[in-house]
Structure 1
Amino acid sequence: MLDPAHTHAKPGSNDGDLFSSLEPFRTAWDALGDLPEPPSREGLEIGGKWGDLLPSIPEGENYLWHTERGGGKPLFGWRTRYWSFLLKLSKQLPSWTIQAQPGSAIGPFHWKNRRLTFAELCRLQTFPDGLVVDCGRTEMQRMLGNAVPSLIAEVLAREIRRQFFDQRPRSALRLIPPARDSIPLPEKVTGIGSQYRVLIGKHAAHPGTGKGRSAARVVAPDVEVEVG
Protein backbone atom coordinates (compact mmCIF):
# COMPACT_ATOMS: atom_id res chain seq x y z
CA MET A 1 0.00 0.00 0.00
CA LEU A 2 1.31 3.43 -0.95
CA ASP A 3 1.34 6.31 1.50
CA PRO A 4 -1.67 8.63 1.16
CA ALA A 5 -0.95 11.76 -0.84
CA HIS A 6 -0.24 14.96 1.06
CA THR A 7 -3.33 17.10 1.52
CA HIS A 8 -2.09 19.91 3.80
CA ALA A 9 1.04 22.00 4.19
CA LYS A 10 2.55 24.66 6.42
CA PRO A 11 0.81 27.99 5.76
CA GLY A 12 2.76 30.05 3.24
CA SER A 13 4.97 27.17 2.10
CA ASN A 14 3.19 26.94 -1.26
CA ASP A 15 2.90 30.65 -1.97
CA GLY A 16 3.66 31.24 -5.62
CA ASP A 17 2.86 27.65 -6.63
CA LEU A 18 -0.13 28.09 -8.92
CA PHE A 19 -0.59 24.35 -9.29
CA SER A 20 -0.61 23.37 -5.61
CA SER A 21 -3.95 22.25 -4.17
CA LEU A 22 -2.64 21.71 -0.63
CA GLU A 23 -4.64 23.35 2.13
CA PRO A 24 -2.96 24.97 5.17
CA PHE A 25 -2.51 22.78 8.23
CA ARG A 26 -5.46 22.82 10.59
CA THR A 27 -4.72 24.70 13.80
CA ALA A 28 -5.66 24.37 17.46
CA TRP A 29 -8.06 27.27 16.89
CA ASP A 30 -9.74 25.34 14.05
CA ALA A 31 -10.32 22.49 16.50
CA LEU A 32 -11.31 24.49 19.58
CA GLY A 33 -12.52 27.88 18.36
CA ASP A 34 -16.24 27.27 18.80
CA LEU A 35 -16.01 25.70 22.26
CA PRO A 36 -17.05 28.01 25.12
CA GLU A 37 -14.83 28.64 28.11
CA PRO A 38 -15.64 26.18 30.92
CA PRO A 39 -17.99 27.65 33.55
CA SER A 40 -15.45 26.81 36.24
CA ARG A 41 -11.69 26.33 36.28
CA GLU A 42 -11.96 23.78 39.08
CA GLY A 43 -9.65 20.90 38.23
CA LEU A 44 -8.10 22.90 35.38
CA GLU A 45 -5.80 25.16 37.37
CA ILE A 46 -2.06 24.54 37.04
CA GLY A 47 -0.49 24.13 40.44
CA GLY A 48 2.90 23.08 41.64
CA LYS A 49 6.07 25.13 41.65
CA TRP A 50 5.75 26.39 38.09
CA GLY A 51 2.03 26.96 37.57
CA ASP A 52 2.22 30.72 38.14
CA LEU A 53 4.94 31.05 35.49
CA LEU A 54 2.76 29.91 32.58
CA PRO A 55 0.99 33.29 32.07
CA SER A 56 4.38 34.85 31.30
CA ILE A 57 4.96 32.51 28.33
CA PRO A 58 3.48 33.47 24.92
CA GLU A 59 1.24 31.18 22.89
CA GLY A 60 3.14 28.48 21.04
CA GLU A 61 6.16 28.71 23.37
CA ASN A 62 7.46 26.62 26.25
CA TYR A 63 10.02 27.05 29.03
CA LEU A 64 12.65 27.91 26.37
CA TRP A 65 11.09 31.37 26.29
CA HIS A 66 12.73 31.92 29.66
CA THR A 67 16.29 31.05 28.58
CA GLU A 68 19.10 33.20 27.27
CA ARG A 69 18.04 32.35 23.71
CA GLY A 70 14.36 33.18 24.29
CA GLY A 71 12.54 36.45 24.69
CA GLY A 72 11.80 36.26 28.41
CA LYS A 73 13.97 36.14 31.51
CA PRO A 74 16.93 33.73 31.84
CA LEU A 75 15.40 31.33 34.34
CA PHE A 76 16.49 28.01 32.81
CA GLY A 77 19.36 26.58 30.83
CA TRP A 78 18.83 25.92 27.14
CA ARG A 79 17.27 22.48 26.58
CA THR A 80 17.61 21.43 30.20
CA ARG A 81 13.94 20.42 30.43
CA TYR A 82 11.52 18.31 28.43
CA TRP A 83 10.04 20.05 25.38
CA SER A 84 6.52 19.81 26.84
CA PHE A 85 7.52 21.62 30.06
CA LEU A 86 5.27 24.72 30.30
CA LEU A 87 4.24 24.20 26.68
CA LYS A 88 1.31 26.34 25.57
CA LEU A 89 -0.95 25.91 22.55
CA SER A 90 -1.05 28.59 19.87
CA LYS A 91 -4.23 29.52 18.01
CA GLN A 92 -2.16 29.72 14.83
CA LEU A 93 -0.44 26.32 15.04
CA PRO A 94 -1.46 22.65 15.15
CA SER A 95 -1.57 21.10 18.60
CA TRP A 96 1.34 19.18 20.02
CA THR A 97 0.93 15.60 21.21
CA ILE A 98 -1.40 15.10 24.17
CA GLN A 99 0.53 13.57 27.05
CA ALA A 100 -0.90 10.41 28.59
CA GLN A 101 0.76 10.89 32.00
CA PRO A 102 1.64 14.57 32.35
CA GLY A 103 3.29 16.09 35.39
CA SER A 104 1.95 19.24 36.98
CA ALA A 105 3.86 21.49 34.55
CA ILE A 106 3.71 19.32 31.43
CA GLY A 107 1.58 20.61 28.55
CA PRO A 108 0.30 21.36 26.11
CA PHE A 109 -1.82 23.84 28.05
CA HIS A 110 -4.63 26.06 26.81
CA TRP A 111 -3.73 29.61 25.75
CA LYS A 112 -5.93 30.76 28.64
CA ASN A 113 -3.31 29.35 31.04
CA ARG A 114 -5.22 26.30 32.21
CA ARG A 115 -5.44 22.59 31.55
CA LEU A 116 -7.50 21.43 28.60
CA THR A 117 -11.03 20.23 29.25
CA PHE A 118 -12.21 16.77 28.28
CA ALA A 119 -14.14 18.22 25.31
CA GLU A 120 -11.03 20.10 24.13
CA LEU A 121 -8.83 17.01 24.41
CA CYS A 122 -11.38 15.06 22.37
CA ARG A 123 -11.43 17.75 19.70
CA LEU A 124 -7.64 17.72 19.40
CA GLN A 125 -7.74 13.93 19.03
CA THR A 126 -10.52 14.36 16.39
CA PHE A 127 -13.02 12.27 18.37
CA PRO A 128 -16.66 12.99 17.56
CA ASP A 129 -18.43 15.41 19.91
CA GLY A 130 -20.56 13.90 22.65
CA LEU A 131 -18.12 11.26 23.84
CA VAL A 132 -18.62 10.39 27.53
CA VAL A 133 -16.23 8.52 29.83
CA ASP A 134 -16.96 7.42 33.37
CA CYS A 135 -13.62 8.00 35.08
CA GLY A 136 -11.49 10.67 36.73
CA ARG A 137 -9.18 13.22 35.12
CA THR A 138 -6.03 11.10 35.36
CA GLU A 139 -7.53 8.01 33.74
CA MET A 140 -9.36 10.11 31.14
CA GLN A 141 -6.16 11.84 30.01
CA ARG A 142 -4.29 8.54 30.00
CA MET A 143 -6.86 7.08 27.61
CA LEU A 144 -6.92 10.11 25.33
CA GLY A 145 -3.15 10.54 25.35
CA ASN A 146 -2.61 6.91 24.38
CA ALA A 147 -5.33 6.93 21.73
CA VAL A 148 -4.74 7.24 17.99
CA PRO A 149 -6.61 10.24 16.53
CA SER A 150 -9.83 9.11 14.87
CA LEU A 151 -9.00 11.15 11.77
CA ILE A 152 -6.03 8.88 11.05
CA ALA A 153 -8.35 5.87 10.89
CA GLU A 154 -10.70 7.73 8.55
CA VAL A 155 -7.87 8.77 6.22
CA LEU A 156 -6.40 5.26 6.10
CA ALA A 157 -9.80 3.62 5.54
CA ARG A 158 -10.51 5.92 2.60
CA GLU A 159 -7.06 5.23 1.15
CA ILE A 160 -7.51 1.45 1.47
CA ARG A 161 -10.81 1.77 -0.32
CA ARG A 162 -9.20 3.78 -3.10
CA GLN A 163 -6.08 1.68 -3.59
CA PHE A 164 -7.47 -1.82 -3.10
CA PHE A 165 -11.01 -1.46 -4.37
CA ASP A 166 -10.56 1.38 -6.85
CA GLN A 167 -13.39 3.34 -5.18
CA ARG A 168 -12.80 7.02 -4.64
CA PRO A 169 -14.49 8.67 -1.66
CA ARG A 170 -17.61 10.59 -2.59
CA SER A 171 -17.60 12.94 0.38
CA ALA A 172 -15.17 15.12 2.28
CA LEU A 173 -13.45 13.97 5.46
CA ARG A 174 -15.96 14.02 8.31
CA LEU A 175 -13.63 14.20 11.32
CA ILE A 176 -11.28 16.95 10.21
CA PRO A 177 -11.89 20.30 11.98
CA PRO A 178 -13.34 23.07 9.80
CA ALA A 179 -10.98 25.83 8.72
CA ARG A 180 -12.08 28.95 10.59
CA ASP A 181 -11.84 32.27 8.79
CA SER A 182 -10.48 34.53 11.52
CA ILE A 183 -8.04 33.80 14.34
CA PRO A 184 -8.16 36.04 17.44
CA LEU A 185 -5.04 37.86 18.54
CA PRO A 186 -2.69 35.99 20.90
CA GLU A 187 -3.44 36.32 24.61
CA LYS A 188 -1.45 38.93 26.51
CA VAL A 189 1.42 37.71 28.64
CA THR A 190 2.29 38.85 32.14
CA GLY A 191 5.54 39.49 33.93
CA ILE A 192 7.09 36.80 36.10
CA GLY A 193 6.16 36.56 39.76
CA SER A 194 8.53 37.54 42.53
CA GLN A 195 9.07 33.89 43.47
CA TYR A 196 10.83 33.33 40.14
CA ARG A 197 13.06 36.40 40.11
CA VAL A 198 15.64 34.67 42.28
CA LEU A 199 16.26 32.33 39.32
CA ILE A 200 17.31 35.12 36.96
CA GLY A 201 20.92 34.62 36.00
CA LYS A 202 23.25 32.67 33.79
CA HIS A 203 22.33 29.01 33.40
CA ALA A 204 24.39 26.42 31.56
CA ALA A 205 22.82 24.86 28.49
CA HIS A 206 22.40 21.11 28.24
CA PRO A 207 25.83 19.71 27.27
CA GLY A 208 24.42 17.36 24.65
CA THR A 209 23.11 13.84 24.15
CA GLY A 210 24.54 11.42 26.66
CA LYS A 211 26.07 14.18 28.77
CA GLY A 212 23.20 15.26 30.99
CA ARG A 213 22.88 15.04 34.77
CA SER A 214 21.92 11.39 34.68
CA ALA A 215 24.86 10.36 32.51
CA ALA A 216 26.84 7.49 33.97
CA ARG A 217 30.29 6.22 33.13
CA VAL A 218 30.55 2.66 31.94
CA VAL A 219 34.10 1.33 32.02
CA ALA A 220 35.09 -1.52 29.71
CA PRO A 221 38.54 -3.18 29.65
CA ASP A 222 40.04 -0.67 27.22
CA VAL A 223 37.13 1.71 26.61
CA GLU A 224 35.48 4.38 28.70
CA VAL A 225 32.05 5.36 27.41
CA GLU A 226 29.65 8.01 28.74
CA VAL A 227 25.98 7.17 28.42
CA GLY A 228 22.73 8.69 29.68
Structure 2
Amino acid sequence: MNLCITVNTHPNNDPNNEILAWCQHAIQNTHSINQIFFFAEGANFALPPNTCEQWSNFIINNQLDAIICSKSGLNLGLHNDSDCNEGYKIGGLGVLLEAALEADTVISSNQILSGQSHPLEAPLNQQALTIRLTQPHDSASANTGLDALAVALAFGLSPKLEIRLQQSQHLSEPTSTESTVSEFTSKLAALTEYGAFEICIIASPTTPELEAIAAYLKTALSTPVQILPPSNKLSTQARTLNF
Protein backbone atom coordinates (compact mmCIF):
# COMPACT_ATOMS: atom_id res chain seq x y z
CA MET A 1 0.00 0.00 0.00
CA ASN A 2 1.28 3.43 -0.95
CA LEU A 3 1.00 5.91 1.94
CA CYS A 4 1.11 9.67 2.30
CA ILE A 5 1.90 10.84 5.85
CA THR A 6 1.15 14.31 7.24
CA VAL A 7 2.80 15.55 10.43
CA ASN A 8 1.62 18.65 12.29
CA THR A 9 2.81 17.47 15.71
CA HIS A 10 5.65 19.25 17.51
CA PRO A 11 8.60 16.93 18.23
CA ASN A 12 8.18 17.61 21.95
CA ASN A 13 4.67 16.17 21.77
CA ASP A 14 6.00 12.84 20.52
CA PRO A 15 8.77 12.10 23.03
CA ASN A 16 8.63 8.35 22.40
CA ASN A 17 8.89 8.70 18.62
CA GLU A 18 5.58 6.94 18.07
CA ILE A 19 5.10 8.57 14.68
CA LEU A 20 8.53 7.47 13.51
CA ALA A 21 7.98 3.95 14.86
CA TRP A 22 4.68 3.74 12.98
CA CYS A 23 6.35 4.79 9.73
CA GLN A 24 9.20 2.34 10.28
CA HIS A 25 6.70 -0.45 10.92
CA ALA A 26 4.86 0.41 7.70
CA ILE A 27 8.08 0.24 5.67
CA GLN A 28 9.11 -3.02 7.33
CA ASN A 29 5.75 -4.51 6.38
CA THR A 30 6.35 -3.82 2.68
CA HIS A 31 4.24 -0.67 2.48
CA SER A 32 5.67 2.35 0.71
CA ILE A 33 5.58 6.01 1.71
CA ASN A 34 5.41 8.40 -1.21
CA GLN A 35 5.71 11.51 0.96
CA ILE A 36 5.90 12.76 4.55
CA PHE A 37 4.59 16.31 4.73
CA PHE A 38 5.51 18.36 7.81
CA PHE A 39 3.46 21.49 8.48
CA ALA A 40 2.46 23.84 11.31
CA GLU A 41 4.20 22.59 14.50
CA GLY A 42 5.53 19.59 12.57
CA ALA A 43 7.93 21.83 10.65
CA ASN A 44 10.04 21.94 13.83
CA PHE A 45 11.36 18.48 12.97
CA ALA A 46 13.54 20.14 10.32
CA LEU A 47 14.70 23.02 12.52
CA PRO A 48 18.43 23.04 13.39
CA PRO A 49 20.10 22.03 15.59
CA ASN A 50 19.02 18.53 14.68
CA THR A 51 17.45 17.00 17.78
CA CYS A 52 15.58 14.46 15.64
CA GLU A 53 18.47 12.60 14.02
CA GLN A 54 16.50 9.36 13.99
CA TRP A 55 14.05 11.01 11.63
CA SER A 56 16.81 12.26 9.34
CA ASN A 57 18.40 8.81 9.27
CA PHE A 58 15.06 7.17 8.50
CA ILE A 59 14.33 9.62 5.69
CA ILE A 60 17.79 9.31 4.13
CA ASN A 61 18.14 5.53 4.51
CA ASN A 62 14.76 4.93 2.89
CA GLN A 63 15.15 7.71 0.31
CA LEU A 64 11.86 9.26 1.35
CA ASP A 65 10.35 12.50 0.13
CA ALA A 66 10.21 14.60 3.33
CA ILE A 67 8.61 17.96 2.62
CA ILE A 68 8.45 20.97 4.94
CA CYS A 69 5.47 23.20 4.21
CA SER A 70 6.94 26.37 2.73
CA LYS A 71 4.64 28.65 4.72
CA SER A 72 5.32 26.84 8.00
CA GLY A 73 9.02 26.79 7.23
CA LEU A 74 9.15 30.52 6.65
CA ASN A 75 7.67 31.10 10.08
CA LEU A 76 10.66 29.22 11.51
CA GLY A 77 13.27 30.89 9.31
CA LEU A 78 13.55 27.92 6.94
CA HIS A 79 13.72 29.64 3.57
CA ASN A 80 15.25 26.88 1.46
CA ASP A 81 16.46 23.28 1.65
CA SER A 82 19.87 24.25 3.01
CA ASP A 83 18.25 25.79 6.08
CA CYS A 84 16.68 22.46 7.05
CA ASN A 85 18.10 19.43 8.78
CA GLU A 86 19.52 16.80 6.46
CA GLY A 87 16.93 14.92 4.44
CA TYR A 88 14.21 17.58 4.39
CA LYS A 89 13.10 19.76 1.48
CA ILE A 90 10.89 22.84 1.28
CA GLY A 91 7.68 22.48 -0.73
CA GLY A 92 4.19 23.87 -1.11
CA LEU A 93 0.76 22.40 -0.55
CA GLY A 94 0.55 21.52 -4.23
CA VAL A 95 3.09 18.72 -3.78
CA LEU A 96 1.09 17.43 -0.81
CA LEU A 97 -2.11 17.26 -2.84
CA GLU A 98 -0.32 15.49 -5.68
CA ALA A 99 1.07 12.92 -3.24
CA ALA A 100 -2.32 12.49 -1.56
CA LEU A 101 -4.02 11.81 -4.87
CA GLU A 102 -1.34 9.31 -5.88
CA ALA A 103 -1.39 7.49 -2.53
CA ASP A 104 -3.74 4.70 -1.53
CA THR A 105 -4.42 6.47 1.75
CA VAL A 106 -3.37 9.49 3.80
CA ILE A 107 -2.44 9.09 7.47
CA SER A 108 -1.94 12.01 9.86
CA SER A 109 0.30 12.17 12.91
CA ASN A 110 -2.75 12.89 15.05
CA GLN A 111 -4.35 9.67 13.87
CA ILE A 112 -1.19 7.73 14.68
CA LEU A 113 -0.84 9.19 18.17
CA SER A 114 -4.53 8.69 18.97
CA GLY A 115 -4.59 5.14 17.64
CA GLN A 116 -7.08 6.05 14.91
CA SER A 117 -4.88 5.30 11.91
CA HIS A 118 -6.39 2.97 9.36
CA PRO A 119 -5.50 -0.72 9.67
CA LEU A 120 -3.24 -1.03 6.65
CA GLU A 121 -4.29 -4.58 5.92
CA ALA A 122 -7.91 -3.54 5.35
CA PRO A 123 -9.17 -2.29 1.98
CA LEU A 124 -10.02 1.39 2.05
CA ASN A 125 -12.84 3.24 0.44
CA GLN A 126 -11.37 5.23 -2.44
CA GLN A 127 -13.32 8.48 -2.45
CA ALA A 128 -12.75 12.05 -3.52
CA LEU A 129 -10.41 14.27 -1.56
CA THR A 130 -11.62 15.39 1.87
CA ILE A 131 -9.98 18.20 3.84
CA ARG A 132 -10.79 17.90 7.54
CA LEU A 133 -10.28 20.75 10.02
CA THR A 134 -9.92 19.43 13.56
CA GLN A 135 -8.05 22.30 15.17
CA PRO A 136 -9.36 25.75 16.24
CA HIS A 137 -10.38 27.79 13.22
CA ASP A 138 -7.80 30.49 14.05
CA SER A 139 -4.93 27.99 14.41
CA ALA A 140 -1.99 27.53 12.05
CA SER A 141 -3.25 24.05 11.17
CA ALA A 142 -6.71 25.31 10.20
CA ASN A 143 -5.22 28.10 8.09
CA THR A 144 -3.02 25.55 6.34
CA GLY A 145 -6.14 23.48 5.72
CA LEU A 146 -7.86 26.41 4.04
CA ASP A 147 -4.72 26.99 1.97
CA ALA A 148 -4.87 23.33 0.93
CA LEU A 149 -8.51 23.80 -0.05
CA ALA A 150 -7.52 26.77 -2.22
CA VAL A 151 -4.81 24.72 -3.93
CA ALA A 152 -7.23 21.84 -4.50
CA LEU A 153 -9.69 24.21 -6.14
CA ALA A 154 -6.86 25.59 -8.28
CA PHE A 155 -6.16 22.00 -9.37
CA GLY A 156 -9.73 21.79 -10.60
CA LEU A 157 -10.80 19.41 -7.84
CA SER A 158 -14.13 19.53 -6.01
CA PRO A 159 -13.08 18.57 -2.48
CA LYS A 160 -15.21 18.09 0.58
CA LEU A 161 -14.41 20.31 3.57
CA GLU A 162 -15.18 18.72 6.92
CA ILE A 163 -15.23 21.09 9.91
CA ARG A 164 -15.30 19.48 13.33
CA LEU A 165 -16.46 22.12 15.80
CA GLN A 166 -15.38 21.73 19.42
CA GLN A 167 -16.93 23.66 22.29
CA SER A 168 -13.61 24.51 23.96
CA GLN A 169 -11.80 25.27 20.72
CA HIS A 170 -14.22 27.26 18.64
CA LEU A 171 -16.04 29.57 21.04
CA SER A 172 -14.21 32.51 22.53
CA GLU A 173 -17.41 34.29 23.59
CA PRO A 174 -20.47 32.04 23.77
CA THR A 175 -22.80 35.02 23.43
CA SER A 176 -21.18 36.38 20.28
CA THR A 177 -21.72 33.79 17.58
CA GLU A 178 -21.26 35.94 14.49
CA SER A 179 -18.08 37.70 15.65
CA THR A 180 -16.58 34.33 16.57
CA VAL A 181 -16.76 32.95 13.05
CA SER A 182 -16.97 36.03 10.84
CA GLU A 183 -13.29 36.01 9.79
CA PHE A 184 -13.31 32.26 9.25
CA THR A 185 -16.53 32.51 7.24
CA SER A 186 -15.08 35.32 5.14
CA LYS A 187 -12.15 33.09 4.18
CA LEU A 188 -14.50 30.28 3.21
CA ALA A 189 -16.75 32.64 1.28
CA ALA A 190 -13.77 33.91 -0.70
CA LEU A 191 -12.83 30.35 -1.62
CA THR A 192 -16.30 29.61 -3.00
CA GLU A 193 -15.51 32.02 -5.81
CA TYR A 194 -12.72 29.75 -7.06
CA GLY A 195 -14.66 26.50 -7.37
CA ALA A 196 -17.31 24.20 -5.98
CA PHE A 197 -16.85 22.30 -2.76
CA GLU A 198 -19.14 20.73 -0.21
CA ILE A 199 -18.97 21.64 3.47
CA CYS A 200 -19.80 19.17 6.20
CA ILE A 201 -20.03 20.56 9.75
CA ILE A 202 -19.86 18.18 12.68
CA ALA A 203 -20.61 19.69 16.07
CA SER A 204 -19.28 17.73 19.02
CA PRO A 205 -20.64 18.07 21.63
CA THR A 206 -23.89 19.60 20.44
CA THR A 207 -24.74 22.83 22.24
CA PRO A 208 -27.06 25.69 21.33
CA GLU A 209 -24.00 27.88 20.67
CA LEU A 210 -22.41 25.38 18.29
CA GLU A 211 -25.70 24.79 16.52
CA ALA A 212 -25.96 28.55 16.07
CA ILE A 213 -22.47 28.70 14.57
CA ALA A 214 -23.28 25.85 12.18
CA ALA A 215 -26.54 27.54 11.17
CA TYR A 216 -24.73 30.85 10.66
CA LEU A 217 -22.16 29.22 8.36
CA LYS A 218 -24.94 27.54 6.42
CA THR A 219 -26.72 30.83 5.75
CA ALA A 220 -23.55 32.88 5.17
CA LEU A 221 -21.97 30.67 2.51
CA SER A 222 -23.09 30.15 -1.06
CA THR A 223 -21.97 26.52 -1.10
CA PRO A 224 -23.80 23.37 0.05
CA VAL A 225 -23.46 22.92 3.81
CA GLN A 226 -24.37 19.70 5.57
CA ILE A 227 -24.74 19.70 9.36
CA LEU A 228 -24.24 16.35 11.08
CA PRO A 229 -24.76 15.32 14.70
CA PRO A 230 -21.80 14.51 16.96
CA SER A 231 -19.85 11.39 16.13
CA ASN A 232 -16.73 10.00 17.77
CA LYS A 233 -15.98 7.82 14.77
CA LEU A 234 -14.11 9.55 11.98
CA SER A 235 -14.98 8.64 8.43
CA THR A 236 -12.57 6.17 6.83
CA GLN A 237 -12.10 7.89 3.52
CA ALA A 238 -8.78 7.02 1.97
CA ARG A 239 -7.82 10.50 0.85
CA THR A 240 -8.56 12.64 3.88
CA LEU A 241 -6.10 15.38 4.81
CA ASN A 242 -6.35 16.26 8.51
CA PHE A 243 -5.46 19.78 9.62
Common fold: TM-score over 0.5: no
TM-score by length of 2: 0.23
The structure richer in strand per residue is: 2
The structure richer in helix per residue is: 2
TM-score by length of 1: 0.24
Which is bigger in relative contact order (C-alpha 8 A, separation at least 6)?
A: 1
